[in-house]
């Protein structure tokens, strides 16, 4: 039996809570140290948000949650940890004290990461503590990027761990104040402050300019690939030739900052309140998370940017490949994402078909007709489906689909899926497929190994009772 790995989180604010959620929901035990008497409540709320959002990125179940514990002493929290994440406030003297305690108490084999957004590893370790920069982005439980800076060997170990929990480690080539992403954010932030200070635009108008325009492009392609396309068929070189001279024009105030006065603070805070003050912070977090899940799932379909990270992580999750037995086989286990619900507050009817289709795809893999087989020019096409809706399903609930083979000879694959929650059948889906040559787009016999595997399941299921819904059509009572 594999030993559950342990992460220790020191500092339980928004970032520390996000780290705790990311590890916990990927099957790690998590120990938290934070002297704040409200830490348990605050982290609990962050984890609740993660439970609502993170599983919605995946079409397979994440590992069972680890255990979450809170400790009064730092040494107790880091004992036996494989990863220790320091997420205390951005004060170098405080980080020195905390990292010294961690270094003294944590196992020598543990990765010690700091969530610092600005300090360099040489500054963090100047007094003898050990640490690398492991700088994430909020919400840590959804956004994959982690900037790593520091000892090369430790960063390599950290990268392997982070990929295993669905994150994207980006190791900086050299240390620099504020790393990579925050340098970019700071540049945009300075321009935004000038635009407000000079009365050019309000906070809402600036946000609209980002989210209605280049923000959508950046989410999938970043800036260099976006500008490569802007260069047309000639690519980046043409773009540089065309727009390079503009770099000498006085468009930007990047090297200057408006006077940070109470009046500027009041102006920005007031505009921000008018823009979104009608929502609580928790409401805004839920809106943000739902939007992120929807966009990242869309990116996943094309294997782009953050979507590829999700797809790669899901492919690494354990997946059973059962042998034929006289019982329906589990083909899907997953949570219902918020995006699957409709105006009635429950799972929309179309997504029952979607999860049934996922069960069919999963079963096809079990008999050897998965992606490699399809890439070779053979597959199964659905000819007919019949769905019966028997129970209500809500966002966040876990669904398990079991599949029974009703027929599996020659070109035919006839399956019956039971979609269950809490052991009760919420829906059934009967599906009939024919094997097809993708070159001719006509039916043909499957490859011998696939035919043999499918027949083995059909024979194993032949003695099972025929489901009540099988073979029925819609009829008024």
Q: What is the pLDDT of residues 420-477, one digit of tens each?
A: 999 999 999 999 999 999 999 999 999 999 999 999 999 999 999 999 999 988 766 6
Tokens of 308: 């590829």
Q: Are 309 and 166 spatial neighbours (Cβ–Cβ below 8 Å)?
A: yes
Binding residues for NAD(+): 11-16
What is the structure's pLDDT at 243?
77
| Residue pointed to by tokens 């929901």 | 25
| R_g of the chain computed on alpha carbons | 27
195-198 long-range Cβ contacts below 8 angstroms, 24+ apart: 196/264, 196/267, 196/268, 196/271, 197/258, 197/259, 197/264, 197/267, 198/258
Cα–Cα–Cα angle for 168, 138, 133, rounded to 5 degrees: 55
Ordered alpha helix ranges (H), 65-214: 74-78, 92-105, 121-124, 152-164, 181-197, 203-209
| Residue pointed to by tokens 């000038």 | 194
Return the percentage of the chain with pLDDT > 90, whole number.
84
Tokens of 389: 């809706």
Ordered alpha helix ranges (H), 245-348: 262-276, 281-302, 305-316
What is the structure's pLDDT at 185?
93
Euclidean distance between the first and final Cα of the chain, in Å? 53
> Does residue 407 surpass a pLDDT of 70?
yes
Helix (H) or strand (E) holding 350: helix 349-366
Going by pLDDT thresholds of 50, 70 and 90, the confidence category of residue 27 is: very high
51-84: b (≥16 Cβ within 10 Å) or e: bbbbbbbbbbbbeebbebebbeebeebbeebbbb
Helix (H, G, I), strand (E, B) or coil at 120: coil
Binding residues: 11-16
pLDDT in tens, 279-296: 998 899 999 999 999 999
Cα–Cα–Cα angle for 287, 291, 296, rounded to 5 degrees: 150
Tokens of 157: 């170990």
Spatial separation of the C-alpha atoms in residues 185 and 218, rounded to whole Å: 13
Global pTM? 0.88
Q: Omega before 139 cis (within 30°)?
A: yes
Tokens of 142: 């959804």
> Does residue 230 surpass a pLDDT of 90?
no
The residue among 224, 217, 214, 216 whose CA lies nearest residue 191 is 214
What is the structure's pLDDT at 236?
86
Tokens of 266: 């009041």
How much is the mean pLDDT over the chain?
94
What is the structure's pLDDT at 252?
67
What is the structure's pLDDT at 238?
84
Domains of the chain and any CATH numbers: 6-179 (3.40.50.720), 182-302 (1.10.1040.10), 321-461 (3.10.129.10)
- Mean of pLDDT values over 394-398: 94
DSSP secondary-structure letter at 254? T
The residue among 76, 98, 80 whose CA lies nearest residue 28 is 80
Spatial separation of the C-alpha atoms in residues 396 and 96, rounded to whole Å: 41
DSSP secondary-structure letter at 256? -
Sign of the alpha-carbon dihedral angle for 444, 445, 450, 451? positive
- Mean of pLDDT values over 245-259: 71
Spatial separation of the C-alpha atoms in residues 363 and 464, rounded to whole Å: 18
pLDDT in tens, 178-187: 999 999 999 8
Tokens of 229: 């396309």
What is the structure's pLDDT at 83?
98
The count of other CB atoms within 10 Å of the CB of residue 307 is 21
Count of CA atoms in the C-beta half-sphere (13 A) of 285 = 20
Helix (H, G, I), strand (E, B) or coil at 112: strand
186-204: b (≥16 Cβ within 10 Å) or e: eeeebebbbbbbeeebbbe
Going by pLDDT thresholds of 50, 70 and 90, the confidence category of residue 368 is: very high
Tokens of 250: 């006085």
């Amino acid at each position: 039996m594999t030993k559950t790995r342990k992460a220790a989180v020191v500092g339980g604010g928004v970032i520390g809570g996000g780290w705790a959620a990311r590890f916990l929901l990927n099957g790690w035990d998590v120990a938290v140290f934070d002297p704040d008497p409200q830490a348990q409540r605050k982290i609990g709320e962050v984890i609740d948000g993660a439970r609502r959002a993170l599983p919605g990125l995946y079409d397979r179940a994440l590992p069972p949650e680890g255990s979450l514990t809170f400790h009064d002493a730092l040494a107790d929290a880091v004992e036996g940890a494989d990863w220790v994440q320091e997420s205390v406030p951005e004060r170098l003297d405080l980080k020195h004290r905390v990292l010294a305690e961690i270094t003294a108490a944590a196992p020598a084999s543990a990765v010690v990461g700091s969530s610092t957004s600005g300090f360099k590893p040489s500054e963090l370790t100047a007094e003898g503590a050990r640490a690398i920069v492991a700088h994430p982005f909020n919400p840590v439980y959804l956004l994959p990027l982690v900037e790593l800076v520091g000892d090369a060997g430790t960063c390599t170990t950290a990268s392997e761990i982070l990929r295993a929990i669905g994150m994207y480690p980006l190791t900086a080539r050299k240390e620099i104040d504020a790393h990579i992403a925050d340098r970019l954010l700071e540049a945009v932030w300075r321009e935004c402050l000038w635009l407000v200070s000079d009365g050019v635009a309000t906070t809402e108008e600036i946000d609209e300019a980002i989210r209605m325009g280049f923000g959508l492009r950046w989410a999938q392609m970043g800036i260099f690939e976006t500008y490569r396309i802007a260069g047309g068929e000639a690519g980046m070189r043409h773009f540089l030739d065309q727009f390079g001279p503009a770099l000498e024009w006085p468009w930007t105030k990047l090297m200057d900052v408006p006077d940070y006065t109470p009046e500027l603070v009041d102006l920005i805070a007031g505009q921000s309140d008018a823009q979104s003050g009608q929502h609580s912070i928790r409401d805004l977090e839920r809106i943000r998370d739902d939007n992120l899940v929807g966009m990242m799932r869309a990116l996943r379909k094309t294997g782009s940017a953050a979507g590829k990270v999700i797809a790669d992580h899901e492919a690494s999750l354990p997946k059973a490949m059962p042998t034929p037995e006289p019982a329906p086989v589990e083909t899907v286990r997953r949570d219902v994402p918020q995006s699957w619900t409709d105006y009635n507050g429950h799972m929309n009817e179309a997504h029952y078909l979607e999860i049934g289709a996922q069960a069919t795809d999963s079963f096809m893999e079990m008999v050897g007709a998965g992606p490699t087989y399809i890439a070779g020019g053979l597959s199964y096409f659905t000819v007919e489906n019949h769905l019966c809706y028997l129970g209500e399903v809500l966002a966040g609930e876990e669904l398990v689909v079991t599949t029974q083979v009703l027929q599996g000879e020659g070109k035919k694959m006839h399956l019956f899926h039971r979609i269950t929650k809490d052991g009760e059948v919420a829906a059934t889906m009967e599906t009939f497929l024919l094997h097809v040559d993708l070159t001719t787009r006509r039916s043909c016999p499957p490859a011998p190994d696939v035919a043999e595997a499918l027949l083995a399941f059909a024979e194993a299921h032949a003695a099972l009772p025929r489901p009540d819904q099988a073979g029925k059509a819609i009829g008024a009572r």
